[in-house]
Structure formats: C-alpha cells, structure tokens
Amino acid sequence: MILILLGPPGAGKGTYSQRLIEAYKIPQISTGEILRTSVKNGTEMGTKAKGYMDKGLLVPDEIIVGIVSERIKDADCKNGFLLDGFPRTVEQANALGLIFEKSKLKLDSVINIIVKEDVLFKRLTGRRMCKVCGGNYNIYTLPSKVEGVCDKCEGALYQREDDKPETIERRLKVYAEQTAPLINYYKDKNILHDVVASEGSIEEIVEKIKTIIGK
C-alpha cells in the first residue's frame, strides 16, 4: 500500500500518519522529520536545509527527491509506505512518478486533508513535539498527560521554530502557491480523495481515511 497525505501545514498529517501506519503496518516517510533529524545531527544536508526551514520556505527539490528515492529502497518499505509532507511541488510529484515507474511501484491513494485556515493557525501555534521521538501533541486538542513531557518516551516537548506565528503565515502562503496545485494534479489522475478534517475527533478522521483506503 502506497499512500500520500496531502494538506496544508497544521492539517494533522503527522498525527493521522502515526495512526495509519499502525493500522496498515507500513512505515511513515516524513520529509520534515528526516530534515529535522539531519539538522539535529548537524549533517551537511541538515545545515543546508535549516535556513530554508526556519524561514518557512521549501528546501530545494533535488535535496528532497534524493532523500525520498533513497529511503523507499529500505527493506521496511517493501510492503508499501506512507508519504507525509512529500511531494510538495509539481516538480517533486513528477520526480516521484518517474521513480515509481522505474521501480514498478503503484501509488494507491492520495488523501487530501482539508482544514479551514483559522483552525490551521490554532493547530500550528498549539503544536508541540517531542525532542526525542518526534511525537506530536497539541496544547489545545491533544495535550500530553504531563505538561511538557512526552507520554511515550518522557522526552521534553518543544515548539518548532517554524511554528512561531510570524513563520506560519509564510508557510501557509508557500502551501497555497507551491503545494495546492498538486490537488488538481492528482485529481486529474483519479487518485485523489478529499477528507474534510476541520471538525471531528482524530479517531473519526482516521476512520474516514480508512474507509476510503479500504474501498
């Protein structure tokens, strides 16, 4: 099963991905998470990417496509994978199409998560992440049991640099200009499914997605 989760920053892609990979026993490939790990480890790629990420801009396509094309060769991807935060431009989608063609892989579904802009803003400013395991929380909608501490690994929770209000606006603009065109791109391929996620619990949204995928 190969899935893409599409949606603006704050739509909940990370949260839904974590639930879906448990249900379908496939790995999550989050380009944002891979980049954050590279930044934390001070690798050459991380150093290059950090400037773009902190400003809320997209990291150049060639870096991202390289990351994904290598990652999907790993053994844990042999039964499929879930792409979270990739592709984010038409160029990346074209590159992915070529990789799939060469590797004889088939994309099953693209889930387009739709969330109203005021809800997105609140979700982004409330978001907290675990420094150790990358787990997602939200002080408004999904708080940890103990404030500032991860439920799963007891790591410290932090607010991402790019979740500060001044950067959020730019990220939403970048999404509208560079990523939203992918909605029609995949609609034209008859593979896109809209999921409205402004309201409802995480479990309800995950069930909606599972119903679509199961069809």
> Active-site residues: which are they?
13, 88, 127, 160, 171
CB 5 within 8 A of CB 17: yes
The least CB distance from residue 215 to ligand AMP, in Å, is: 27
Taking CB under 6 A as the rule, which mask of x and - marks residues 39-78 in contact with ligand AMP? -------------xx--xxxx----x--------------
The least CB distance from residue 63 to ligand AMP, in Å, is: 8
208 near ligand AMP, judged by CB under 6 A: no
Residue nearest to ligand AMP (CB): 32
Round to whole Å and give the CA distance between 12 and 5.
Answer: 10
The least CB distance from residue 100 to ligand AMP, in Å, is: 16
- Give the contacts of 105 (CB within 8 A, at least 6 positions apart): 2, 72, 99
CB 175 within 8 A of CB 13: no
Number of residues in contact with ligand AMP under rule CB under 6 A? 18
- Give the contacts of 135 (CB within 8 A, at least 6 positions apart): 18, 129, 150, 151, 152, 153, 155
17 near ligand AMP, judged by CB under 6 A: no
Nearer to ligand AMP, 7 or 80 (CB): 7
Q: What are phi and psi of 171, to 5 degrees?
A: -65, -40
171 near ligand AMP, judged by CB under 6 A: yes
Nearer to ligand AMP, 133 or 146 (CB): 133
Strand ranges (DSSP E) for 133-202? 136-138, 157-158, 192-196
**Which listed range, 82-90, 95-103, 138-146, 148-156, lies at the site for ligand AMP (CB under 6 A)?**
82-90
Q: What tokens were used for 37? A: 């790990």
In the numeric block, the tokens 């619990």 are attached to 201
Q: Which residues bind ligand AMP (CB under 6 A)?
A: 9, 31-32, 35, 52-53, 56-59, 64, 85-88, 92, 162, 171
